[in-house]
Structure formats: C-alpha cells, structure tokens
C-alpha cells in the first residue's frame, strides 16, 4: 500500500514538471478555387487571383474555425469579388484593407453582414458594385466613401449601420435599385454633387426617397485639382485665403459651410511631405457661416513651397486647394489697388521675402530658386544698430552660470540662454518673471515666441540655484543683431534680414 502511494506522488511530480508554452496560432492553405489564405495572430490575409466564392453550407469558408478571432483582413490585389456571406458574422473584425492596385469589382450580398465591430474599410478605386445588404448590421461604421468607380449600390446595403453618420458619393453615374428596404439608417448624411446621373426614373424616385431629404449638395474634388470629380465644374471649398504675420508666418483659408456640421469639418495641411492633420475651423462670420482654418508657423525657407489644404467632412476628403505658397499669395496682393497705394505694404512684402531667401541660403534649401529672385521691389538695406540691450551680472557661483545667449531661427523666433550647472535639480530659469521649461540634456532655456513687432523688446533671464537668483541677463533680438551685424556669413545675413523684416512690420502697422 505504501508503494502505491509513492508511485502516485512520483507520477504527479513528473506531470507538474512539464513546461507549458503557448504559441500563436497560424494556419492557412490554398483553396480549390485558386485563392490562398493565411491566419496568424488575429490577421487573415487572402492572396491569389479571382473571386472568393459564396459562403454556403456546401462551400464553407476555410477559416471558419477562426471566425471569431479575426480582427484584421488584408485582401491582395488579385481578388476580384467577395462572395455572399464570406465575412458574415465575423463579430470581432475591426479592419479591412485592400492593396493599392486592387482589382476588386464586386462585394456581394451580405458579404460583411453583422460585422458589428468593423470600423475601418476604405473601398478600392476598382469597385463597381455593392450588392444588397452587403454591410447590413455593421453598426460600428461611422463614415463611408463611395469611390468614383462605383455604379451600383444594392438595396439595404447599409441598413443596420446605426452609427453611420456620413456617406460621401464620388460617382458620376449611380444605380440605386428600387426596393422596399431602406438603403441607410435615417440619421445618415449623404454628401454628393447633384450632377450625378441616376440610371432611370424609377431609380430616381428611390434615390430621392432614401437620399434626397438628407442630401448635402456639394462638389466633390478628391484629387484637389479644382474640378468636381462628378460634373467637372469648378470646385473650390475655400472662398479665399490670406496671410498672418506676428509670432510666426501663417496662412488662413476661409470656407463658407452653411449646410455642414462645423464640428465634422476639418482641414489637413501638407507642406514638403509633412502633414498637419485635422485642423478645426474658427467661426469668423456667423451670418455667412464662414470659418477660418489656419496653418500656423510656416518656416521662412518654405515661402516658395506650395501648401496643399485638404478639406474634409467627417474624415473624408471632399475638396481642397493644391500648391498655394506664400509667394503665390504675395503675387496676388500685388494685383490689389491697396498695394499700389501703400509703400509700407510694398516694403514689408519685399523685406519678408528677403528674409525667406536668407533662410533658404542659411538652410541650403532650394537655393537655386530664391523666393525673392524676381520680386520688383528691393529689400531694405541693412543699417547697423547703434547699441545692444544686453546686460550680464556675474554669477555668484562659478559652477553654475549662463554661458551664452542667442536667437533660435525656426518657424517661430525665440531667445535662448545656455548654462552650466553642477546640480540640475537645484537649477531653474525665469524669463520676464515666469519660470520656463529647461532642456536638461542640452542645458538650454527658451523665451516664448517673439512677434516681428517686438524684436527690440528686452527679455530678462534669471538663473536660480537652490531658490536664489545668482545671475541675471537681459537680451533681445536687437542684441543678437548687434553681435552679428559686421559678419557676412549666412547666419549674419539671416539675422539682418530678420531684423529688417521686423522694422518693416512695425512701419506697416503704424
């Protein structure tokens, strides 16, 4: 009896000593229809050519055992059609991506029915048909772009998409078959151009029933070329644009949006490949529902570079203005009668462009095409400043002291001081009485942004150590100019051009 007990204990010990590892599930294969599939860690990838056939009791989808684990689907360019119910009831599916050169033409009936967590799906430009109930019950979809290639939207295609706020239509011809089913939920806003052609009178009746009372008529210009993608008329979401000068150089774009929800309107700005996304509008004229969208802080070396402003509604592009630069705006101002009669305006623009050209030379950007090379008003000749505003009280601690001061040239201008310290935790800097953040790794502190009108303004930097002020430095942009005015390198030229620009801004303001 004792022997049996011992054997049981030894066996149990052996079982418990086996290490357990859990590997990510991966599965896949090639189907008899020619396409291949691979499932790995929540992602289903479908490759090959041709169609994914209907999902039926006879021809079941091969990944059915992972149906509730799939969160992302990636469909390769060779797939031409998604059959009926292929992704029906994939409850955890969140994202569907198509390759850029997709050849998908058809999404069949119920293909994505009841994918209740689907939030991301951008239809490819090859799509021509969305069949009945294709997205029925996709209750997490909020926006949908129907691309220009689309010609057929089936009955009840978006029924049950209870959170679908916006559909943007870019098709020039669209067939919406008459049906007893509703195409979309009652709260969905439809955005499109009334230049769109419907294929028959019966279809027009259906379209008006389910679209008309919720439609917003506007031109759609997704490539931002200034022409409506549907009717080819001029498409200009922005009524005007202008420039602001101050602590930085900014461009303001104005749009009248009386029929749109301002909270859903935003603008992306693209300059030199960099995008500033989702800039909200500021109401400037309630009577005209006019809003301003501002691209803040254009670095001076980019005055010759075109800015693309992309107008979006609920995240979907419906228009924009491409490649409009500071230089373009200045050329537009030259056509105004006010410019001809205002020498201060003429000089301000000439000195601002000279500042931009100096910044191009300083940064080495596009120096073969300086922004002021063809401007017909000469920049102001620099005149030396007669004095500096800099003062410096000697630090009471040789191990903790301000060692340098200067101007930081960027999309905004700021003053800075560099310092050394033996204990950063005890060190603080005030600028004009206010504590500022310290870049501890570089031992540097900056002032706030300095307006072009304030280059003579004196800033006081106080270095504190363990709560006591041990050194005070006063400094201004003018102080920096004074230290550079006899130089002839690109830094000195930029500094002098910056100061001339500031003087002209003051003269213009009056």
pLDDT in tens, 173-216: 777 665 534 556 666 777 777 666 655 544 555 555 555 555 66
Instruction: Quote the DSSP letter at residue 316.
Output: E
Contact (CB, 8 A) for 292 and 282: yes
Task: State pLDDT tens for residues 145-164.
Answer: 888 888 888 888 888 888 88
The strands making up 106-107's β-sheet, listed across from edge to edge, are: 50-52, 79-82, 106-107, 129-130, 152-153
Structure confidence at residue 215 (pLDDT)? 60
Rounded average pLDDT over 250-268: 92
Longest CA pairwise span in the chain (Å): 116
In CATH terms, 28-217 corresponds, of 3.10.20.70, 3.40.50.880, 3.80.10.10, 3.30.420.280, to 3.80.10.10
Structure confidence at residue 196 (pLDDT)? 66
Identify which has the larger pLDDT, 79 or 149: 79
Residues of the chain with CATH 3.80.10.10: 28-217
Structure confidence at residue 203 (pLDDT)? 53
C-alpha span between 107 and 335 (Å, rounded): 53
Q: What is the band of 343 on the pLDDT scale with cuts at 50, 70, 90?
A: very high
- Judged against a pLDDT cut of 70, whether residue 23 lies above it is answered with no
Contact (CB, 8 A) for 340 and 333: no
- Judged against a pLDDT cut of 80, whether residue 457 lies above it is answered with yes
Assess if CATH 2.60.40.10 describes domain 240-324.
yes
Structure confidence at residue 159 (pLDDT)? 84
Rounded average pLDDT over 54-65: 91
Task: State pLDDT tens for residues 399-417.
Answer: 999 999 999 988 889 999 9
Identify which has the larger pLDDT, 25 or 468: 468
Residues of the chain with CATH 2.60.40.10: 240-324
Which CATH class name applies to 391-484? Answer: mainly beta
**Whole-prediction pTM value?**
0.77
Residue 166's CB is within 10 A of a number of other CB atoms, namely 21
Q: What is the band of 21 on the pLDDT scale with cuts at 50, 70, 90?
A: very low
C-alpha span between 394 and 155 (Å, rounded): 81
C-alpha span between 316 and 191 (Å, rounded): 10
C-alpha span between 127 and 95 (Å, rounded): 18
Q: What is the band of 218 on the pLDDT scale with cuts at 50, 70, 90?
A: confident
Average pLDDT, rounded, for the chain: 88
- Judged against a pLDDT cut of 50, whether residue 6 lies above it is answered with no
Q: Map tokens 């010609």 to a residue.
A: 151
Helices 343-363 and 490-509 sit at what angle, rounded to 10 degrees?
A: 160
Q: Take residue 339 and report the two structure tokens written for it.
A: 């410019």
């Amino acid at each position: 009896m004792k022997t049996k007990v011992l054997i049981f204990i030894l066996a149990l010990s052996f079982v418990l000593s086996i290490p357990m590892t859990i590997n990510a599930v991966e599965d896949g294969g090639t189907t008899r229809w020619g396409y291949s599939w691979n499932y790995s860690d929540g992602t289903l990838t479908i490759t090959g050519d041709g169609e994914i056939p209907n999902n039926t009791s006879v021809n079941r989808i091969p990944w059915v055992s992972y149906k509730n684990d799939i969160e992302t689907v990636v469909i390769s360019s060779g797939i031409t059609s998604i059959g009926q119910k292929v992704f029906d009831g994939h409850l955890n599916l969140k994202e569907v991506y198509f390759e850029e050169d997709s050849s998908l033409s058809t999404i069949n009936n119920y293909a994505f029915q009841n994918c209740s967590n689907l939030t991301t799906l951008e239809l490819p430009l090859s799509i021509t048909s969305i069949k009945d109930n294709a997205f029925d019950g996709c209750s997490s979809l909020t926006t949908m772009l129907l691309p220009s290639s689309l010609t057929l939207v089936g009955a009840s295609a978006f029924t049950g998409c209870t959170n679908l706020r916006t559909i943007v239509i870019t098709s020039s011809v669209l067939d919406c078959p008459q049906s007893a089913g509703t195409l979309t939920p009652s709260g969905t806003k439809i955005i499109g151009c009334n230049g769109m052609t419907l294929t028959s009178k019966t279809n027009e009746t259906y379209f008006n029933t389910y679209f008309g009372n919720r439609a917003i008529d506007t031109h759609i210009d997704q490539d931002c070329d200034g022409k409506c993608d549907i009717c080819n008329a001029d498409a200009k979401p922005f009524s005007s644009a202008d420039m602001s000068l101050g602590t930085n150089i900014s461009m303001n774009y104005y749009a009248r949006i009386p029929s749109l929800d301002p909270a859903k309107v935003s603008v992306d700005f693209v300059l030199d490949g960099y995008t500033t996304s989702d800039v909200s509008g500021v109401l400037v004229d309630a009577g005209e529902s006019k809003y301003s969208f501002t691209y803040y802080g254009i670095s001076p070396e980019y005055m010759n570079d075109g800015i693309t402003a992309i107008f979006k509604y609920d995240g979907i592009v419906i228009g924009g203005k491409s490649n409009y630069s500071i230089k373009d705006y200045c050329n537009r101002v030259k056509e105004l009668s006010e410019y001809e009669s205002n020498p201060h305006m003429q000089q301000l623009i000439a000195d601002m462009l000279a500042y931009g050209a100096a910044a191009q030379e300083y940064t080495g950007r596009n120096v073969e095409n300086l922004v002021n090379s063809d401007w017909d008003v000469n920049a102001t000749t620099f005149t030396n400043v007669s004095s500096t505003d800099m003062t410096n009280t000697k630090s009471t601690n040789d191990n903790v002291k301000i060692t340098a001061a200067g101007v930081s040239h960027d999309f905004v201008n700021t003053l800075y001081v560099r310092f050394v310290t033996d204990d950063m935790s005890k060190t603080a800097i005030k600028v004009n009485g206010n504590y500022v953040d310290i870049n501890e790794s570089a031992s540097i502190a900056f002032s706030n942004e300095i307006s072009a009108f304030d280059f003579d303004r004196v800033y006081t930097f106080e270095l504190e150590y363990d709560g006591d002020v041990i050194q005070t430095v006063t400094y201004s942009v003018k102080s920096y100019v004074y230290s550079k005015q006899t130089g002839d390198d690109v830094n000195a030229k930029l500094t002098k051009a910056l100061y001339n620009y500031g003087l002209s801004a003051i003269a213009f303001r009056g």
